[in-house]
A and B are shown apart, each in its own frame.
Chain A
Amino acid sequence: MAGDSPKKIFILGLWKDNPVFRQIIGICSALAVTNLMLNSLIMGLGLIFVTAFSELTISIIRTITPKHIRMMVQVLIISVFVIIVDIFLKAYYPEMSKALGPYVGLIITNCIIMGRCEAYAQKNPPLSSFLDGIASGAGYTLVLLTIAFVRELLGFGTIFGVKVLGDWWTNWTIMIMPPGAFFVLAVVIWIARSISSEDKEKEKEAVKA
């Protein structure tokens, strides 16, 4: 199999198959780290790194991995890359590492990575798999940043820690508490799904015409 064109991979990862609002996977961390945009960005970059390189590695060894232990192999490969991210954060951004707490380690159990490795990297050549990892990771990061934008703006009146709303602004504390995360995510899913159902109707009409 030749693999898909990079453009198609990115459209799928960012919109059509977006892991968060299309497939509703990997949302644990999507909710936990989105009270600040900086946290979300770091988390997103970590996930892109881990997904891309795990998919690359798994794709390279896909022909020599015995079928019945492939899950175990996948988990081990993913853990190795997560450990790299964790050590890197501890060494260069110790405060960020503390703020993210256990959620960096929980990248291992983020279903997006497992899902993409199983669904894509197992069947496709290394380069497409690598791109697919970047694309799904980017789709995830984009949603994370959207949620974080709303939560940080309404909850603290800041964007990336910079005050944008003046003194007249009263912080919505609920936005930085857990319920706020659920509500914002639900609204994001609602908007995205409404747009996509309109897309589908247009496609149907186009076929009819």
Chain B
Amino acid sequence: MIELNPFVIFIASIFTNNMILSNFLGMCSFIAVSSDIKTSLGLGEAVTFVLTFTTILNYFIYYNVLVPLNLEYLRFIVFIITIAAFVQLVEMIVERYLPNLYYALGIFLPLITVNCAILGVSLFMVIREYTLLQSIGFSLGSGMGWTIAIVALAGIKQRLKRASVPKGLEGPGITIIVIGLMALAFVGFSGIVQIQ
């Protein structure tokens, strides 16, 4: 594998390898929560934060605990426990020290546990054999790419409310078409940098 600069990975995971638009990860909350720009931004920030820290945690757990013990196949179970535990911890800290933020985030924090983008980034990190710095660039970029996509979708959806859409296509149907168009636009970025 060619050694990639962490910064290149960071840029690539925002634009050319966007988590949603080219890897299809984190779609459920992406479609469900994207009706308002402000909440979308809040969720995006929370996802970026959790994503970055769990990826770093999982990196250390995978290479310092699982690999020496030959327990690589347990990674699914270990990663998901790390993510769930981390989200729980963040929830408790936020509730204790930043109650305003806690109420603003509401249901989103626990929802993050089942956001496939977060587990996906940890799994990609292992499959692509990233180093620590590369993993940090990758997770930060993925989180930011996810945030940009959800905020953009929320903006478009606010306009869509006034459009008349064929009956069977209302709701999720038209949303997915819009996401498809966004993906098409992001294909335009390909060629800047490429990671595999």
Contacts and interface: CB of A to CB of B under 8 A. Distances in A.
Interface of A: 24-29, 31-32, 72, 75-76, 79-80, 82-83, 86-87, 101-102, 105-106, 108-111, 114, 174, 177-183, 185-186, 189-194, 197
A105 B187 contact: no
Contacts of B115: 109
A180 B184 CA distance: 9
Q: Chain B interface secondary structure, helix, strand, loop or mixed?
A: helix
A183 B76 contact: no
Interface string B47-77: 0000000000000000000000000011111
A111 B29 CA distance: 10
Contact of B77 (A83, A87, A109, A174): A83
Given A111-B28, A183-B177, A186-B176, A194 B77 contact: no
B80 A24 contact: no
B114 A106 contact: no
Contact of A28 (B28, B73, B77): B28
Interface residues of B, number: 41
Nearest to A182: B180
A73 to B, nearest CB: 12
Which of B26, B119, B120, B170 has the most chain A CB within a 10 Å cutoff?
Answer: B120
Interface in B1-48: 21-28, 31
Contacts of A32: 23-25
Contacts of B167: 193-194, 197
Contacts of A108: 76, 80, 119
Pairs of residues from A and B, 3 with the lowest C-beta to C-beta distance, nearest first: A182-B180, A194-B168, A102-B123
Given A28-B27, A31-B24, A193 B116 contact: no
B163 interface: no
A146 to B, nearest CB: 15
B31 A179 contact: no
Nearest to A82: B76
Contacts of B172: 24, 189
B177 A114 contact: no
23 contacts: A28-B26, A31-B27, A72-B84, A75-B81, A76-B77, A79-B77, A82-B76, A83-B77, A86-B76, A105-B76, A106-B116, A109-B114, A178-B22, A179-B180, A179-B184, A183-B180, A185-B176, A186-B180, A190-B166, A190-B168, A190-B173, A192-B168, A193-B168
Contact of A109 (B21, B119, B124): B119
Which of A87, A106, A109, A111 has the most chain B CB within a 10 Å cutoff?
Answer: A109
Interface string B167-187: 111101110110111011001
